[in-house]
């Protein structure tokens, strides 16, 4: 049985796989909508950040059907589902087919690939793996390569390869130690992750879901600058909660606006008494390297927290139980 640590160590290889594979031809599109949930839907978040940084528009939809604007705007819709059987994602792809919008897909198999074959939808078949969230490099890379093939974004391979190299360096370097120290500070507490809208906030969202699923623990995230307009006040009335039950992690990206850096500093000053577990800064040049450099530290923290709590990071029995009950 592959451990979650071994799966995390596969991230560079997954990013290289994506950089080197040949995506199918796609219909030309100006903008795209990525439909997917959970450990697969995060590939849409990655694509949205990448596209935005390169001046293009990719939107993410994490629910049934299509958002109200999509039928008129006619974006390229890409369905992403590791299992290929997620009901919200299938519902969105079926609505896309019904509306006659351009569509692509990526999955390891399941109904999504059956639909793709039946309707001649261009798709990328992902090698099977134990958990969607442990296939983030492949899923994100496949979505990016499909978007590139459609002309929604420019070339992605160079950035994917740089991300692989930066993540590899971190895994073989000080990220493990950094993650252990953060996990020590966060253990037994509710993790709260802050990062600025864009790369750091996307990574913060991934930290949250990895701590939920790998560490089996509650975690939350918020984005600068919005959190300065509400959440900051929320640390006031119950100082004991912030001091004893919570650990806050600040993520920053080298490209954050300097006004964001100032906000983060002042926020820490004004949150006095709230336990700050630490901070992590992105590494690398390209958007993907910077994003995955933050993601990989969070992945390692989530596993270290699982080990401290004595839980197995790999299975997500509750999600499987919910899906089973919904299907009854
Ligand atoms: O981590 C998980 O298992 C979930 O978040 C799944 O990714 C989510 O339920 C969607 O399933 P799939 O990735 O197979 O589409």
Instruction: Give the per-residue SS3 of 128-174.
Output: CCCCHHHHHHHHHHHHHHHHHHCCCCCCCHHHHHHHHHHHHHHHHCC
Asked if residue 291 and residue 207 are part of one domain, the reply reads yes
Residue whose CA is at the smallest distance from ligand 1 atom 9: 38
Q: Is 320 within the bounds of a domain?
A: no
Q: Is 168 within the bounds of a domain?
A: no
Domain residues for the domain of 127 are 4-160
Q: Is 136 within the bounds of a domain?
A: yes
Task: Tell how far the Cα of 84 is from the centroid of ligand 1, in angstroms.
Answer: 9
Give me the residues paired with residue 147 across strands: none
Ligand 1 in reach of 86 Cβ (< 6 A): yes
Ligand 1 in reach of 89 Cβ (< 6 A): yes
DSSP structure class, residue 298: H
> How many domains does the chain divide into?
2
Asked if residue 246 and residue 109 are part of one domain, the reply reads no
Percent of the chain with pLDDT over 90: 98
Asked if residue 179 and residue 46 are part of one domain, the reply reads no
pLDDT category, 59, cuts 50, 70, 90? Answer: very high
pLDDT for residue 33? 98
Helix/strand/coil percent split, the chain, to 5: 55, 15, 30
Is the pLDDT at 288 greater than 90? The verdict is yes
Asked if residue 21 and residue 153 are part of one domain, the reply reads yes
- What's the mean pLDDT in 288-293? 98
pLDDT category, 182, cuts 50, 70, 90? Answer: very high
Q: Is 235 within the bounds of a domain?
A: yes
Q: Which of 255, 154, 249, 120 is nearest to 193 (CA)?
A: 249
Instruction: Give the span between the Cα atoms of 314 and 5, in whole angstroms.
Output: 10
Residue-wise DSSP of 253-271 = -TTS-HHHHHHHHHHHHHT
Is the pLDDT at 52 greater than 90? The verdict is yes
pLDDT for residue 70? 98
Ligand 1 binding pocket mutation candidate from 45, 83, 112, 326 (most atoms within 8 A of CB): 83
Asked if residue 145 and residue 15 are part of one domain, the reply reads yes
Strand (E) or helix (H) holding 191: strand 190-196
Asked if residue 112 and residue 59 are part of one domain, the reply reads yes
- What's the mean pLDDT in 100-117? 98
Give whole-number Cα distances, 34 to 63, 104, 287, in Å: 11, 9, 19
Asked if residue 238 and residue 197 are part of one domain, the reply reads yes
Q: Is 321 within the bounds of a domain?
A: no
Instruction: Give the span between the Cα atoms of 200 and 212, in whole angstroms.
Output: 18
Q: Is 314 within the bounds of a domain?
A: no
Asked if residue 177 and residue 116 are part of one domain, the reply reads no
pLDDT for residue 246? 98
pLDDT category, 1, cuts 50, 70, 90? Answer: confident
Output the six-digit token pair for 17: 């796989």
Asked if residue 295 and residue 258 are part of one domain, the reply reads yes
pLDDT category, 195, cuts 50, 70, 90? Answer: very high
Asked if residue 148 and residue 60 are part of one domain, the reply reads yes
Instruction: Give the span between the Cα atoms of 14 and 73, in whole angstroms.
Output: 33
Instruction: Give the torsion through C-alpha atoms of 25, 26, 30, 33, to 10 deg.
Output: -140
**Predicted TM-score of the model (pTM):** 0.97
Output the six-digit token pair for 19: 């950089």
pLDDT for residue 5? 96
Q: Is 319 within the bounds of a domain?
A: no
- Residue pair 52/153 in contact (Cβ under 8 Å)? The answer is no
Asked if residue 179 and residue 153 are part of one domain, the reply reads no
Query: Would you tell me how many other CB atoms lie within 10 Å of the CB of residue 245?
Result: 12
pLDDT for residue 275? 97
Q: Is 325 within the bounds of a domain?
A: no
**Which long-range contacts does 270-274 make (Cβ < 8 Å, 24+ apart)?**
270/232, 271/232, 271/235, 271/242, 273/235, 273/239, 273/242, 273/243, 274/235, 274/242, 274/243, 274/246, 274/248
- How high is the mean pLDDT of the chain? 97
Q: Closest ligand 1 atom, CA of 80? A: 15
Using a 10 angstrom Cβ sphere, with 0-12 exposed, 13-18 middle and 19 or more buried, the burial of residue 231 is middle
- What's the mean pLDDT in 112-125? 98
Is the link from the previous residue into 225 a cis peptide, with omega within 30 of 0?
yes
pLDDT category, 204, cuts 50, 70, 90? Answer: very high
Ligand 1 in reach of 81 Cβ (< 6 A): yes
Is the pLDDT at 110 greater than 90? The verdict is yes
Domain boundary among 130, 160, 190: 160
Q: Which CATH number does the domain housing residue 28 bear?
A: 3.40.50.10490
Domain boundary among 160, 195, 220: 160
Please report, for the chain, how many H helices and E strands are present, in that order. 14, 9
Asked if residue 20 and residue 127 are part of one domain, the reply reads yes
């Amino acid at each position: 049985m592959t451990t979650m640590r071994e799966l995390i160590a596969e991230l560079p290889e997954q990013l290289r796989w994506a950089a080197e594979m040949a995506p199918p031809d796609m219909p030309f599109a100006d903008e795209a909508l990525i439909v997917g949930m959970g450990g697969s839907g995060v590939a849409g978040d990655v694509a949205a950040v990448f596209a935005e940084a390169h001046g293009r528009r990719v939107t993410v939809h994490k629910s049934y059907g299509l958002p109200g604007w999509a039928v008129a705007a006619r974006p390229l819709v890409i369905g992403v589902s590791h299992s290929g059987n997620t009901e919200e994602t299938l519902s969105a792809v079926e609505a896309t087919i019904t509306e006659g919008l351009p569509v692509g897909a990526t999955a390891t198999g399941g109904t999504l690939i059956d639909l793709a074959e039946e309707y001649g939808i261009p798709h990328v078949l992902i090698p099977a793996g134990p958990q969607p969230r442990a296939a983030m490099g492949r899923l994100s890379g496949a979505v990016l390569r499909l978007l590139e093939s459609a002309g929604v974004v420019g070339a992605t391979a160079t950035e994917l390869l740089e991300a692989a190299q930066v993540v590899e360096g971190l895994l073989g370097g000080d990220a493990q130690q950094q993650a252990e120290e953060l996990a020590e500070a966060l253990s037994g507490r509710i993790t709260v992750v802050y990062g600025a809208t864009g790369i750091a906030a996307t990574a913060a969202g991934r930290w949250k879901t990895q701590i939920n699923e790998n560490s089996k623990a509650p975690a939350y995230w918020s984005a600068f600058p919005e959190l300065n307009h509400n959440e900051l006040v929320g640390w006031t009335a119950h100082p004991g909660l912030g001091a004893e039950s919570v650990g806050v992690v600040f993520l920053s990206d080298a490209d954050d606006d300097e006004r964001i850096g100032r906000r983060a500093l002042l926020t820490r000053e004004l949150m006095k008494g709230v336990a700050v577990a630490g901070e992590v800064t992105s590494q690398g040049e390209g958007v993907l390297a910077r994003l995955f450099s933050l993601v990989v530290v969070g992945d390692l923290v989530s596993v270290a927290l699982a080990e401290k709590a004595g839980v197995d990071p790999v299975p997500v029995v509750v999600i499987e139980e919910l899906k089973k009950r919904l299907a009854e």
